[in-house]
Amino acid sequence: MRALVAIATATALLAAGVGAVPARASTDLAAVLTDVTADQRLAGGVAVTRDGTTVSRFSAGYSDVDTHAGFGPHIRIRAASVTKTFVAATMLQLVAEGKVDLDASVESYLPGRIRGAGIDATAITVRELLHNSSGLPEYYYDTDPHGPPQTSQQLLDLALRKPAQFSPGAMIKYTNTNFVVAGMIITAVTGRDPADEITRRIIVPLGLADTYFPAAGDTTLRAPFAHGYELLGGPYLPASGDLDPASAAPHDGAEPGPRVDVTPYEPSNSDMAGALVSSGEDLTTFMAALVGGRVIPRPQLAQMMATAPWPEGGRGRGYGLGLISIALPCGVTVWGHGGDLFGYHTLSVASDQRRALSVTFNQAGAPGSIDPRDRVLEATYCTPGA
């Protein structure tokens, strides 16, 4: 596919309501989204903010560079690892109902199903799964983005070919396997597929009409959706042109090649670690509701938001139970989660005052540049008057 450089365009729509986002904050956010999309030659981006009953929507570039379709707030994207927060919230609802004990062993819910070198399922707790501190090995880098559908057990078996990364609780190490196992526990406790349970408990009650879990084998997205793009030879897409889960690494400094449409993807590879499809509008609604105490009871929310330092995540980041804290340089702390999957790069957060932001770019940021999501994040919360 030939390279197409998106011409950044921005729109801002302010919904009727009270507590409007200050005009300067909205203007600065629109400008940052437009500028970063143009400067890093990204395909497109969308940002949605919620402040009380007021919703502001911004877009730049394209959801489809061939047709020049815009990138609206209800355009579907792969939410990637923001899925983990939905899984954790569902698990904590079960905790509140007395159906799951955070400090019970994984073995007590999945007897005999987790065995491997240096792995003791009786010593791993549910809390450690959600905290990414279980020590279970990573499965994701051994998957085939265009391969046949996989079950949760098959993904777990990929992980169990490798030894434990560390003793349970010794450190935080971001590992997708943890949330595959968490999904399996949800099934063991409820008797339902975790996607169905999340839909029943969170997606339907919050009215998240753009949000769903694609079926195994469904490699595209329901319309309207944003195409995902990466640069050939850049992060996520090696020069061979074959998607490689292990290629999302620092760029080697070579000039990336043309932009390639990488939308098709086997969603079962991501399972409960990242298969969710959503939109900027829905993710903002969800995160505002979660941090605002409308998804899980306050005692469980407090546990979810109790983060520990997470150096791997970057400066100012902490990890809780499926929830990341970000301490911004202006003194504001937000909670949420990011997500990166071929062609889709998302961040969804909310402050404890319930001001929420979701931002997605349908192409990875330029190598060596500040993550464009961080640019938008700081413009949202750190602009004077914001």
Binned at pLDDT 50, 70 and 90, residue 130 comes out as: very high
Separation between Cα atoms, residue 316 and residue 309, nearest integer Å: 8
Average pLDDT, the chain: 90
134 is catalytic: no
Q: What is the b/e burial string over 8-24, where b = at least 16 CB atoms within 10 angstroms of the residue's CB? A: bbbbbeeeeeeebbeee
> What is the average per-residue pLDDT within 321-344?
97
Sign of the dihedral through C-alpha 148, 149, 153, 155: positive
Q: What is the pLDDT of residue 181?
A: 99
Q: Which class does domain 29-238+259-382 fall in? A: alpha beta
> What is the average per-residue pLDDT within 163-173?
98
Choice among 26, 56, 81, 278 that is catalytic: 81
Of 8 and 351, more confident: 351
Q: What is the pLDDT of residue 232?
A: 86
Of 235 and 51, more confident: 51
> What is the average per-residue pLDDT within 181-206?
99
> What is the average per-residue pLDDT within 223-227?
98
Q: Are 320 and 383 in contact, with CB atoms under 8 Å apart?
A: no
Separation between Cα atoms, residue 70 and residue 68, nearest integer Å: 6
Binned at pLDDT 50, 70 and 90, residue 251 comes out as: very low
- Residue among 85, 84, 91 at smallest CA distance from 188: 91
Contacts of 280 (CB under 8 A, 6+ apart): 46, 47, 48, 57, 73, 74, 75, 77, 358, 359, 360
Q: What is the pLDDT of residue 368?
A: 81
Here the tokens at position 323 are 């929830």
Separation between Cα atoms, residue 129 and residue 103, nearest integer Å: 10
Separation between Cα atoms, residue 307 and residue 309, nearest integer Å: 7
> What is the average per-residue pLDDT within 144-167?
97
Q: Are 245 and 141 in contact, with CB atoms under 8 Å apart?
A: yes
Binned at pLDDT 50, 70 and 90, residue 20 comes out as: very low
Q: What is the pLDDT of residues 62-95, one digit of tens each?
A: 999 999 999 999 999 999 999 999 999 999 999 9
Q: What is the pLDDT of residue 359?
A: 98
pLDDT score of 265 more than 70: yes
Q: Are 21 and 54 in contact, with CB atoms under 8 Å apart?
A: yes
Separation between Cα atoms, residue 149 and residue 147, nearest integer Å: 7
How many percent of the chain have pLDDT more than 90? 81
Separation between Cα atoms, residue 313 and residue 309, nearest integer Å: 9
pLDDT score of 18 more than 60: no
Q: What is the pLDDT of residue 1?
A: 29
Contacts of 154 (CB under 8 A, 6+ apart): none
Contacts of 328 (CB under 8 A, 6+ apart): 316, 334, 377, 378, 381, 382
Q: Strands 317-319 and 308-309, how do they pair? A: antiparallel
Q: How many residues does the chain have?
A: 386
